[in-house]
């Protein structure tokens, strides 16, 4: 059995890596934080709390709450005001990593890049085609 040693992404402690990239102690702390956040959101009056309100009430770090959302442990379908920033522009989103505008911009840039690559490829193919020249001799009539 191969055991991979790694440093914990949170505390830096060396641990035997399995499925997670954090040590058992940090994992246990994250689970405790999740329980605190979930209990807070389970109360009817808190179901529409924003991330900043959750941070203020529970003292759990915003990054950790965002991690729970991205892992689908906290679902925006159950808690409609849970939104986190787009990784490109920072506008609030409820799923994925990018907002619709940034995703569309990237898609358009990709399509533009593909068209440019196609033109470049076609140009290179034309340059590789053999070219034949014919010479016509003009005959002088006397």
pTM recorded for the entire structure:
0.67
CATH entry 2.60.120 includes domain 24-82:
no
Q: Which residues pair with 92 in a beta bridge?
A: 85
Residue 48 CB contacts under 8 Å (≥ 6 apart), including other chains: 79, 80, 81
Can you state the angle between helices 24-42 and 51-58, rounded to 10 degrees?
Answer: 110
pLDDT at 110 over 90: yes
Q: Please, which residues bridge with residue 16 across strands?
A: 5
The predicted structure's pLDDT at residue 142: 52
């Amino acid at each position: 059995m191969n055991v991979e040693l790694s440093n914990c992404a949170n505390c830096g402690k060396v641990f035997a890596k399995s499925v997670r990239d954090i040590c058992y102690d940090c994992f246990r702390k994250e689970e405790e934080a999740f329980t605190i956040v979930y209990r807070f959101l389970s109360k009817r009056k808190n179901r529409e709390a924003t991330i900043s309100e959750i941070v203020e009430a529970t003292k759990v770090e915003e990054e950790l709450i965002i991690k729970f959302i991205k892992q689908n442990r906290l679902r925006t379908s159950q808690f409609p005001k849970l939104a986190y920033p787009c990784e490109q522009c920072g506008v609030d989103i409820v799923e994925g990593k990018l907002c619709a505008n940034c995703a569309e911009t990237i898609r358009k840039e990709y399509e533009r890049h593909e068209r440019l690559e196609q033109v470049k490829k076609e140009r290179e193919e034309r340059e590789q085609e053999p070219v034949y020249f014919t010479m016509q001799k003009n005959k002088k009539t006397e």
